[in-house]
Structures are given as C-alpha cells and as structure tokens.
Amino acid sequence: MASNLKLDDALVAQVLSISGLGTKREAVNLALSEYVRRHQQLEILGLAGTIDYDPAYDYKAARQTR
C-alpha cells in the first residue's frame, strides 16, 4: 500500500541509528510491528487473574508420571 507520510525526520533518524536499519520504510515497518506487538502484550496482561484453576489438581503427582 503506497502512502505519503510527513514523518519527524529526527525521530526517523534516531530509529535508523538505534535499529541499524537502512531505509525509512524499514524503520516505519519496524515501528508499526513493535506497536502491534506491544498492544497484544497488553491484552495478554489484561487476562491476568481471569483463569480459574482446579483446586484439586496435584502438580507433584503430574510430575511423577513423566
């Protein structure tokens, strides 16, 4: 998908320097993938405490069967 974007040149230069990437396109794609990954991680963290465990489960017995 072709797009024309007005990017912050200093920010793009910083991303290129930190990442070692060679093009603005690579920098933008990296930033977008990092953004998506971060928000997916936040969704997973939101699930903390929502799983009900079986109180009768004996993890020690399960280890011995291996």
Q: What is the pLDDT of residues 13-66, one digit of tens each?
A: 999 999 999 999 999 999 999 999 999 999 999 888 888 888 899 888 888 865
Confidence of residue 8 (pLDDT cuts 50, 70, 90): very high
Per-residue confidence (pLDDT) for residue 65, from 0 to 100: 64
Confidence of residue 3 (pLDDT cuts 50, 70, 90): confident
Within-domain flag for 28:
yes
What total number of domains does the chain contain? Answer: 1
Within-domain flag for 3:
no
Contact status, residue 19 vs residue 30, Cβ threshold 8 Å: yes
Confidence of residue 1 (pLDDT cuts 50, 70, 90): confident
Within-domain flag for 34:
yes
Contact status, residue 36 vs residue 15, Cβ threshold 8 Å: no
